[in-house]
Chain A
């Protein structure tokens, strides 16, 4: 039984950093190598011009809905090889691909729940972000129909990162999981021979 008990991703990465920094570096490098092509491809799916005239950038700001900016969206698509914070179910991830801009998130997943858009209540209807308060009852449907079709992958549905993930056909995931397994296995092998312990 190893002296050091590893529970979950957080412990593993901490232990790697502390006891086997070379394994940590190797893991990060291999994760990056696996995920970079997916991110590049996802950035390639971002249209240079706004898909509809009404979503173009304006010189003035009149609402909280973000305007379309291809550069902002591309900048928001990235990958991370650090351990994520635990979500409310207690799960963490070793690596992830993100689409971290507001416009990018809208472009990615608009229409995912309902292709007709949100329920329309009008400007004076029920308050809340679940409803459409546009003057145009068909605003949601018209917005969604102007975007490219939603694509399904094993990790979710969307137009950018999920489309790129689907197109990778499991290669990226395989490579990432292989890197994680390799680092974990090598760590335990070294622990057997060296017995990593906490400082007194």
Chain B
């Protein structure tokens, strides 16, 4: 626990450091940190430094790749260049070892074995051995390459369980069997640990840096007339500074603007409105977004996307009117099939029915149509004389005749049935019975 104190006569004491250099660097780092903490062009500087570092990473990577390509060419395997590059990239990501290490290792193995498949297999095993034995990959690869050509001197440090005499005379297969027995799966186990995961992340970040560097180089090659690195660095610096200045100016503008009370309130109001609009528009935009995604996946050209959306929208509108028309038609069809209504209509059409019967029929019709007021009216007019005879039933039983196979058959059959019953009930000779 550090206690509060007041120091008097404080002075830098070089005797406190063991070496003068560490004193200077210690102070410099503190000053540098203080400057950074004050925000003195930190962002622009960081951007410049990152740009330089990423370009350097890319340049180193290119150099290593060029060396490997040259080796392949010398061995007459230039055609495998693309496959090997892809192998190394994949191995780098899966094993967590940077490709800067993998390329020279692969090259060494290739030079020893003269076989790509053998080199690939040995490289994967070398990674396991390196992790399992805590030896650098470079050392392991060198030992394997030597062992391949019969020189087993460097294998003692791996403690393979072979005696010195056995080690001297062991064949490469025997050696590899011993390696497999001791170190197989070591890298996989390591990658499962926190340190392994961190290593993989670091490797991937390094790859990303190289990609960014590659992009930066290309970008500034396009911009710069002189293709030298100096020009590129100055352009990065200028860009970094001007980008930094732009954002600084923007931030200052917004900060000062946002401080004004009216503006502050407007901003708050705008935020609320945006939230409302977002919800409303989202419901509208969503179907189009989905349509867009669908067409993006089907890889249509943008012009045809627009045309299709137009046609799609038009067909939606057309379909809506069709649906409406169909709904009306269905309602009409439903009314046609309403046997009760048909019977009442048919009965009302008869001029010879009594007034009371007519009133009753009208009341029934009002009930069928759901017209409560009319039904009450006609219900009140109907005499309660139950003896008033109407030889005809108030409800006409209509039933289909014959076999109904189609819609039309059914309609025709019901119409015939109504006519038949009506004629029987209300037609001439009905009262003759």
A residues at B contact (CB < 8 Å): 7-11, 31, 35, 38, 76, 84-86, 88-102, 104-105, 108-109, 155-156, 158, 161-162, 165, 173, 176-177, 180
Q: How far is B125's CA from A186's CA once the two chains are assembled, in angstroms?
A: 74
- Provide the main secondary structure of the chain B interface: mixed
B29 to chain A: closest residue by CB:
A89
Task: Assess whether A105 is in contact with B3, with CB atoms less than 8 Å apart.
Answer: yes
Determine the chain A residues whose CB is within 8 A of the CB of B8 once the complex forms. Answer: 31, 35, 93-97, 173, 176-177, 180
A89-B26, A89-B27, A105-B1 known; A7 and B7 CB under 8 Å?
no
How many residues does chain B have at the interface if contact means C-beta atoms less than 8 Å apart?
20
A77 CB to closest chain B CB (Å) equals: 10
Determine the chain A residues whose CB is within 8 A of the CB of B121 once the complex forms. Answer: none
Q: How far is B17's CA from A10's CA once the two chains are assembled, in angstroms?
A: 12
A98-B5, A102-B1, A158-B4 known; A93 and B14 CB under 8 Å?
no
A89-B30, A90-B26 known; A161 and B16 CB under 8 Å?
no
Task: Assess whether A93 is in contact with B10, with CB atoms less than 8 Å apart.
Answer: yes
Task: Assess whether A10 is in contact with B13, with CB atoms less than 8 Å apart.
Answer: yes
A69 CB to closest chain B CB (Å) equals: 16
Contact partner of B12 (CB less than 8 A), chosen from A8, A84, A177, is: A8
How would residues 1 to 44 of chain B score, 1 for a CB under 8 Å from any chain A CB and 0 otherwise? 10111111111111111000001001100100000000000000
A20 CB to closest chain B CB (Å) equals: 17
A89-B26, A90-B26 known; A97 and B12 CB under 8 Å?
no
Task: Assess whether A92 is in contact with B4, with CB atoms less than 8 Å apart.
Answer: no
Q: How far is B121's CA from A25's CA once the two chains are assembled, in angstroms?
A: 78
Determine the chain A residues whose CB is within 8 A of the CB of B7 once the complex forms. Answer: 84, 93, 95-96, 155
Determine the chain A residues whose CB is within 8 A of the CB of B16 once the complex forms. Answer: 8, 10, 85-86, 90-92
B30 to chain A: closest residue by CB:
A89
Task: Assess whether B13 is in contact with A91, with CB atoms less than 8 Å apart.
Answer: yes
18 residue pairs of the A-B complex, CB under 8 angstroms, read A8-B14, A31-B8, A76-B3, A86-B17, A89-B26, A90-B13, A90-B23, A91-B12, A92-B10, A93-B10, A94-B8, A97-B8, A101-B3, A108-B4, A156-B4, A161-B4, A176-B9, A180-B9
Q: How far is B16's CA from A11's CA once the two chains are assembled, in angstroms?
A: 11
Q: How far is B17's CA from A9's CA once the two chains are assembled, in angstroms?
A: 14
Determine the chain A residues whose CB is within 8 A of the CB of B30 once the complex forms. Answer: 89
Q: How far is B149's CA from A158's CA once the two chains are assembled, in angstroms?
A: 75
Question: Which are the 8 A-B pairs with shortest beta-carbon distances?
Answer: A86-B16, A94-B9, A8-B13, A93-B7, A92-B13, A97-B6, A98-B5, A95-B8
A89 to chain B: closest residue by CB:
B30
Q: How far is B3's CA from A99's CA once the two chains are assembled, in angstroms?
A: 6
Contact partner of A7 (CB less than 8 A), chosen from B1, B6, B14, is: B14
Determine the chain A residues whose CB is within 8 A of the CB of B26 once the complex forms. Answer: 88-90
Q: How far is B15's CA from A162's CA once the two chains are assembled, in angstroms?
A: 29
A52 CB to closest chain B CB (Å) equals: 21
Contact partner of A90 (CB less than 8 A), chosen from B4, B6, B12, is: B12
Additional A-B contact list (16), CB under 8 Å, known A11-B15, A86-B16, A105-B1: A7-B15, A8-B15, A8-B16, A76-B3, A91-B16, A92-B16, A93-B10, A94-B10, A95-B7, A96-B8, A97-B8, A98-B3, A99-B5, A104-B3, A105-B3, A173-B8
